[in-house]
Amino acid sequence: DTAVSQTPKYLVTQMGNDKSIKCEQNLGHDTMYWYKQDSKKFLKIMFSYNNKELIINETVPNRFSPKSPDKAHLNLHINSLELGDSAVYFCASNSNNQPQHFGDGTRLSIL
């Protein structure tokens, strides 16, 4: 299936831990994104990479570090997790100014 896939789907961890979320797309897109959706369903862009180069970096704590090993993958590493990091994180991708395709999200819960 052609898709944007994220792992894990659910992540429950303790405050202070470091965790990573992975995203892969097999759509041949050259741009990938990370969004955060809070408990009120508000969606906000965090980062965007185009051909492994960072092009959008919103005001996000530097505990969040995206990494793009190749244009089909964009991972998100989060250090020293805090309660406020609890949210659903969505990966998306697109090319050539076409609509962004989203994954089904990673629900991160901080205890």
Partner 1 sequence: GESVGLHLPTLSVQEGDNSIINCAYSNSASDYFIWYKQESGKGPQFIIDIRSNMDKRQGQRVTVLLNKTVKHLSLQIAATQPGDSAVYFCAETPPGGYGNKLVFGAGTILRVKS
State in angstroms the smallest separation of the CB of 106 from partner 1.
10
Binding region for partner 1 (CB under 8 A)? 4, 31, 40-45, 48, 55-56, 90, 92, 94, 97-105
In DSSP notation, 6-27 reads EE-SEEEE-TT--EEEEEEE-S
Please state, in angstroms and rounded to a whole number, the distance separating the CA atoms of residues 31 and 72: 9
Could you tell me the smallest distance in angstroms from the CB atom of residue 29 to partner 1? Answer: 11
- In terms of CB distance, is 32 or 81 closer to partner 1? 32
Least separation, in Å, of the C-beta of 28 and partner 1? 16
Tell me the residue length of the chain: 111
